[in-house]
Chain A
Amino acid sequence: MRVFRYPGRTLAGDYIRSVAGMSLGFGVLLSVPPTPAIIMVFGGVAGVFSLFGLRTVQRHVTKVAVTDAEICNVGFRTSALCWGDLGQIKLRYYGTKRQERGEGGFMQLTLKGGGRSMTYDSGIEGFKYIAWRAAKAARDNDLSVDPASAGNLLALGLDADGEAPPPKI
């Protein structure tokens, strides 16, 4: 069994972002007379960043255990997905302007099956290993991987259609 978690240094940026966003949203809401437009725009901003902050805290306390049989999240609540139940795998890439300078951008792996959905960002330790294990399960379950996910797996050095040795962690 391998256990991974989001290191504090990768979450620091998300904490700063959520605090900055909440300060902006709640700051304007509390300091100016509320009008419907102000409430809608800055209330929306405050809401998005509050959700983002909660998700960051959740990631901070979550541990991900990967075994040959399943992948399991242990945090505020525990959930597990058996590799045999995996029904869909999606690997998305979200770029930023800085990617043009060779930095920035992140990947997001979504696994669905057995009525559960689990999402991991590339900031987690062992992301490549989780992606490799998920790709292997998708092959074993004879799932079709969409072209975007297959391309992103290739960018990680993993072939969705072929056997590959587990990546070094």
Chain B
Amino acid sequence: MLAYTARRILIMVPTLLAISLIIFVIIQMPPGDYLETYITELQSQGEAVDPEKIEALRRQYGLDRPLYEQYFLWVLGLLQGEMGYSFEHQLPVNDVVGDRLWLSFLVAVSTILFTYAVSFPIGIYSAIRQYSFGDYAFSLLGFLGLATPNFLLALVLLYLANVYFGTSIGGLMDEAFIDQPWSWAKFLSVLEHLWVPVVVIGTSGTAGMIRRLRANLLDELQRQYVMTGRAKGLPPGRLLLKYPLRMALNPFIADIGSLLPQVVSGAAIVSIVLNLPTTGPMLIEALRSQDMYLAGSFLMFLALLTVIGVFLSDLLLAVLDPRIRLEGGATK
């Protein structure tokens, strides 16, 4: 396992470097840069633009340097935990982002835990009680969850909370704690508000996961080794947990890699609707205004989540099902 872990970590390094290069190229692709957008904005408001001031700003922000130099400075900064300078906010990205990265991570991880905690027992129940009333009821709920856009669910919840409880459920903490240093009370306030975005963002993922687990488990339950186990008198619970469920979990675990970035990026519109202090709304604004280091840092954060997610799912898969795949054509 140590050798496997070492190999997988080493693969992560060039992957992240390649992603950082692609992100840098993409955020440089639109014509012009932040200053040109800024000049256009000033001109549209009828304000005079001093070319010398603009040139001085270009030098100050390092936009006059060759692209490769800008890239290396950015990557070296990332390695040291410095994400560059936000042109729009005129502050280091670290200060602009503040707690947003951690709060996004918290929402993402909580959503994934919620998704798994809800979909796992329901998926198993639906598979072993196929075509029962419970299976139909959960399937209906699943389809509703899949068909309802997250932002719509957020709007409905906001409306219901306002009309029936006279309260706003937006935000991730009470207003008194915004921009305040972390304290136990602030943490509790975050936990208190967390369930709404978690339920809203996690609903569609949960519905999809239930359908996938149910389908995989049904496939496995019809295999011959399950019949053999039953014929040999294995207790049903033990038979289910030890063999078919283990096999049915493979795609479930392989999903971790794609789930993390999906939850973070897919939550952007929900974050706007629910007024969440997460990365989504700021990323959209940074992309719109060509605030390249701010946008690039957010995109690197998403990439890092993806790579870590794939790494975790590969390790879990290796533990869960360490069989040779003959159809894969392995040589050893």
Binding site for B on A (CB under 8 A): 14, 17-18, 20-21, 24, 28, 32-33, 35, 37-38, 45, 48-49, 51-52, 55, 92-97, 99-108, 121-122, 147-148, 151-152, 155
Contact = CB atoms under 8 A, between A and B. Distances in A.
Interface stretch (B3-11, B39-47, B65-73, B126-134): B3-11
Given A24-B13, A121-B3, A147-B243, A105 B331 contact: yes
B80 A99 contact: no
Contacts of A21: 6, 9-10
Given A20-B10, A37-B81, A38-B80, A151 B324 contact: yes
Give the residue among B81, B243, B324 with the most A Cβ atoms within 10 A. B324
Contacts of B10: 17, 20-21
B317 to A, nearest CB: 9
Contacts, number: 92
Contacts of B166: none
A18 B2 CA distance: 11
B328 interface: yes
Interface in B250-271: none
B13 to A, nearest CB: 6
Contact of B3 (A14, A99, A148): A14
Interface size class, chain B: 20 to 34
A102 B13 contact: no
11 contacts: A33-B80, A37-B81, A93-B323, A97-B11, A105-B324, A105-B330, A122-B332, A147-B225, A148-B322, A151-B324, A152-B322
Given A95-B330, A102-B329, A151-B323, A48 B80 contact: no
Given A52-B2, A106-B3, A121-B3, A99 B330 contact: yes
A106 B332 contact: yes
Nearest to B331: A103
Contacts of B7: 17, 96
B323 A51 contact: no
Nearest to A28: B79
